[in-house]
Amino acid sequence: MANITAKMVAELRAKTGAGMMDCKKALTETDGDMEQAIDLLRKKGLSAAAKKAGRVAAEGLVAAVSDANRCAVVEVNAETDFVAKNDAFKGFVNGVAQTALDEAPANLEALLALPFPETGRTVAEEQTHQIATIGENISIRRFERTEVSAGVVASYVHGNGKIGVSVALATASTDEGVSTLARQIAMHVAAANPQYLTREQIPAAIVDKEKEIMRAKALDSGKPEKIVDKIIEGQINKFFGEVCLLEQVYVIDTDKKVSQVVQSLAKELACDVQLAGFVRYQLGEGIEKREDDFAAEVASMTN
């Protein structure tokens, strides 16, 4: 049996663009024969995976998997929304979410190293396999796992995987109303897009910047400086009501804020109920999508 060195693996990867583990396996199976290993990777459809990995992936799916008092939300990107409808891709995304939920990895690197369900491959290797099989760049972008020791973590996915949400309610109560409210608040989060749970979580620099803008607008509009602080006080509270979940107007009952709805349930159950946290992922947020100029592309091919 040939000794498979790191140099050999790197050389095969450079020639084929396949993943490190796939290269190592191919060299092992071919007893170190480079040409046979290249052929093997080509037969498996893995030799072009790295080339595809350079493409912009801003479509895909967000998935949320919950189980009583825990939930995992993941975003997996692909190049086109067509792939997001592919059953194999959906299965991969759900498998990633389930792995994140069950294994509680510390970060994305740890998640990629975990075994992918029922394949004998790691999550990273399964990702490479999916790239080769589907023919598009696929990237596990992020995940977040939420768990409470007592209470409920509900999930909600909106728009066929465009938005994924988890909401945690911490309580000792096992009443069905807790699960119902958690899911309803998850639907609220999908619609209202809060940025923070409470105003205390907002970085001071962001609050200061908002106040600075408010002050400039007030002065520019001719408001006397002596009343500007009062104006800012009202406007900053309105800002908190827009970005903080607990201070938002509840979309299902607009006569109440989210905090009041939680308090009402606690009073009804005669048990403490706390909104412990939430996660909201929107597909592709923050990714700069490439706009292809078809005419320019055709022109460049004919020059």
> Whose structure tokens read 């709805």?
261
| Cβ 138 vs Cβ 29: under 8 Å | no
Q: Taking the model in full, what pTM does it have?
A: 0.75
Position of tokens 């790295």? 50
H helix count then E strand count, the chain: 12, 6
What does the pLDDT read at residue 105?
97
Q: What pLDDT digit, counting tens, does each position of 188-236 carry? A: 999 999 999 999 999 999 999 899 888 888 888 888 888 888 899 899 9
Phi-psi region of 222 (alpha: psi -120 to 50; beta: other; left: phi over 0): left
Q: What domains, with CATH codes, occur in the chain?
A: 6-47 (1.10.8.10), 59-196+276-282 (3.30.479.20)
Count, residues in the chain: 303
The one-character DSSP state at 196 is B
Residue with tokens 């009343």: 227
Strands of the 139-147 sheet, one edge to the other: 59-67, 70-78, 139-147
pLDDT band at 298 (very low <50, low <70, confident <90, very high): very low
Using a pLDDT cut of 90, give the percent of the chain over it: 59
Give the per-residue pLDDT at 7. 86
The DSSP bridge pattern shows strands 59-67 and 70-78 to be antiparallel
Residues 75-101, mean pLDDT to the nearest whole number: 92
- Backbone dihedral region for residue 263 (phi beyond 0: left; psi -120 to 50: alpha; all else: beta): alpha
- What gap in Å lies between CA 39 and CA 70, rounded to an integer? 45
